[in-house]
Amino acid sequence: MSSVRLDLTPEVVKTALKRALDGQKGIHDFCDKRQPYLVLRVRGHSASWLVKTRERTIKIGDAMPAATAGKVPQRRKRGSAAGERILGLRGAREAAKREWARMGNPTNAAEPPAGWTWARLADEYKAHIAGMREDSSGRPIYPSAETQSDVRQIFGRKEVEKHETRLLASLDENWFEEVQEALHEEYGYDAYRKFRAYGQAALNWAAAFRRKESGLAGRKWWLLAERRRRTKEEIEKKVVRDKARAKKKDDFKVEHLGMLLAEHERFCASRSGNERISPGVRWGLWWDALTGHRRSSGTWIAQEDLDYSDPRGEPGWGLATWQPEVMKAQNPFTLPIPQFGLHIAGCCKRDWTRAAERAGIWNRKSKWVFASRVMQSEAGDIAVSGSALANHLRNMRGLREGNHRDVLRGIPLFSMHIIRSTMGDYILDETGLPPGTASLMIGHEIAGDRRNELDRVGQTGKRWYFQAQRIPEKTAAMALWSDALLKAFKEAGGVYPD
């Protein structure tokens, strides 16, 4: 079953009726924004008008005869049941108002609800954060896939979604606190924390920019809702998790990363046919290990942003630039790339092209260096994701269906993010490079890696700093790190990848 919430218009009704005439596979609901309880349901060759709430679903009429499917409509007998009436959009709206009122809802049956419902707010806010916007200073904010996923997940929880037909004007801080409590008890503290953050953000946005439409006039009651704390049991579990995370970080060194890459190459070589590891995953793991980038953005490097030569840098070196829209800090980030890194990128593009040719897609192109092998996606042309790399590691550990052999046994437990920490710790503890270099390499300040006073500049200076990127310091660090990585790989029995 699928659904979409939108403004029900004559054009939408025509689309629904065409689906019914063609024969809808499964069930698809067209849910109205104006009257959130009004639904046009297409199932098979039928299209029906419903009044739907969390507790009940009532059929109020047909949008077309159930058995028509391109045939002459059957004449209905006078006095037939309400569910058998054929209604147009206007008639369905009026019938839905009457049924809604009969169900005991405090809404004037002659008028549509005033202001937005919670469902309308959720939809409008999700659309807002999916586009480009700017902060109060005029600085652009790029859409974040991670934030959008979090918002979809928390607003989709049954404890939140059950209130989708409630008008915002009917809600208050007591309601907000009840939802917080329900989420905390069912899913834990993080669910409460996300609902509080994103729920208040959505309400703040609507009150500031869509006040009249949303009906959010008057006091900002959502800011008055009580906060919650972790329970004693949750605090104890968090302490255990934090200790385990710190131990993982301390235990996983560059020699273990070399062992991982050696096993990775052997694992990839052993797979064939439908089990073949995609080029983006095979070479993407190498790329993330070399660059120490975040799992969510490391492989999101466009071909036009990878320069295979740097006339101002070392001979044979290139430059890779991650654009603001894929960076957590939303600032461009550049790293010098040694010959080995350029080799990784070239191998990936070569193997990806061969894979497309094997699939019979001779003219397939991608703007990404580490392109996904997904041939069709709602997102269009995409880079291989961090989730794909994490699933690959699960596969190597024997945790996925069809593979039960753990080829990573003997390597301390780790996550993709720990690889990033391993790089930073190596540069900080093993190289003797100036303070701040490790923080520069991973684009994040590491505790104990303070920079000098020259770095403590205002926002104007910061803009210059991000443009300058301090490539000489990064080059020195990347040279030492790439050498250490390849050395550990070869000592683990790895053969230079090709």
Q: What is the CATH number of the domain that holds 289?
A: 1.10.443
**Listed residue (111, 91, 103) closest to 13, CA to CA:** 91
Here the tokens at position 292 are: 């120490």
Single residue among 67, 102, 137 that ends a domain in this structure? 102
Quote the number of domains for the chain: 3
Exposure of 451 by Cβ count < 10 A (0-12 exposed, 13-18 middle, 19+ buried)? middle
Q: Which string of b and e fits 87-102 if b means at least 16 CB within 10 Å?
A: bebeebbebbbebbee
Same domain, 134 and 196: yes
Position 454 scores a pLDDT of: 39
Q: Is 242 inside any structural domain? A: no
**Listed residue (336, 240, 232) closest to 290, CA to CA:** 336
**Would you call 455 helix, strand, or coil by DSSP?**
helix
Position 70 scores a pLDDT of: 44
Single residue among 41, 69, 102 that ends a domain in this structure? 102
Contact 335, 478 (CB under 8 A): yes
Which secondary structure element, helix H or strand E, spans residue 349, and what is its range?
Answer: helix 339-358
Range of the domain at 353: 247-491
Here the tokens at position 323 are: 């654009």
Is the alpha carbon torsion for 354, 358, 362, 368 positive or negative?
Answer: negative
Here the tokens at position 278 are: 């995609």
Same domain, 328 and 464: yes
- What 8-16 contacts at long range (C-beta under 8 Å, 24+ apart), as own/partner pairs, is 8/32, 8/33, 8/34, 8/38, 8/40, 8/89, 9/89, 10/89, 12/40, 13/40, 13/63, 13/88, 13/89, 16/40, 16/42, 16/47, 16/63
Q: Is 239 inside any structural domain? A: no
Same domain, 265 and 216: no
Same domain, 187 and 312: no
**Listed residue (187, 1, 205) closest to 123, CA to CA:** 205
**Listed residue (190, 176, 181) closest to 118, CA to CA:** 176
Q: Which residues contact 471 (CB under 8 A, 6 or more apart)?
A: 310, 312, 313, 319, 334, 336
DSSP collapsed to 3 states, 145-210: HHHHHHHHHHHCCHHHHCCCCCEHHHCCHHHHHHHHHHHHHHHCHHHHHHHHHHHHHHHHHHHHHC
Single residue among 192, 224, 256 that ends a domain in this structure? 224
pLDDT digits (tens, 9 = 90+) for 102-114: 887 755 544 445 6
Same domain, 449 and 420: yes
Here the tokens at position 23 are: 């024969």
416: amino acid identity, one letter: M
- pTM comes to 0.68
CA distance 336 to 291: 9
Same domain, 315 and 461: yes
Using alpha carbons, list the distances in angstroms from residue 223 to 188, 194, 202, 220, 228.
21, 15, 12, 6, 13
Same domain, 351 and 288: yes
Position 44 scores a pLDDT of: 87
Position 303 scores a pLDDT of: 94
CA angle 443, 238, 428 (to 5 degrees): 30
Position 395 scores a pLDDT of: 92
Q: Is 332 inside any structural domain? A: yes
Position 225 scores a pLDDT of: 96
Contact 450, 435 (CB under 8 A): yes
Residues of the chain with pLDDT under 70: 65-84, 106-114, 362-363, 374-380, 402-403, 444-468
Q: Is 301 inside any structural domain? A: yes
CA angle 250, 251, 252 (to 5 degrees): 100
Here the tokens at position 158 are: 């049954």
Same domain, 129 and 210: yes
CA angle 176, 178, 180 (to 5 degrees): 70
Q: Is 113 inside any structural domain? A: no
Which secondary structure element, helix H or strand E, spans residue 20, and what is its range?
Answer: helix 10-22
CA distance 403 to 18: 45
Same domain, 198 and 306: no
Position 114 scores a pLDDT of: 67
Same domain, 48 and 137: no
Position 6 scores a pLDDT of: 85
pLDDT digits (tens, 9 = 90+) for 210-243: 999 999 988 899 999 999 999 999 999 999 999 9
Same domain, 127 and 85: no
Contact 180, 196 (CB under 8 A): yes
Q: Is 230 inside any structural domain? A: no
**Listed residue (91, 479, 133, 472) closest to 312, CA to CA:** 472
Contact 257, 412 (CB under 8 A): no
Same domain, 79 and 43: yes
273: amino acid identity, one letter: G
Exposure of 156 by Cβ count < 10 A (0-12 exposed, 13-18 middle, 19+ buried)? exposed
Here the tokens at position 336 are: 């010098």
Q: Is 231 inside any structural domain? A: no
Q: Is 108 inside any structural domain? A: no
Is the alpha carbon torsion for 483, 485, 486, 491 positive or negative?
Answer: positive
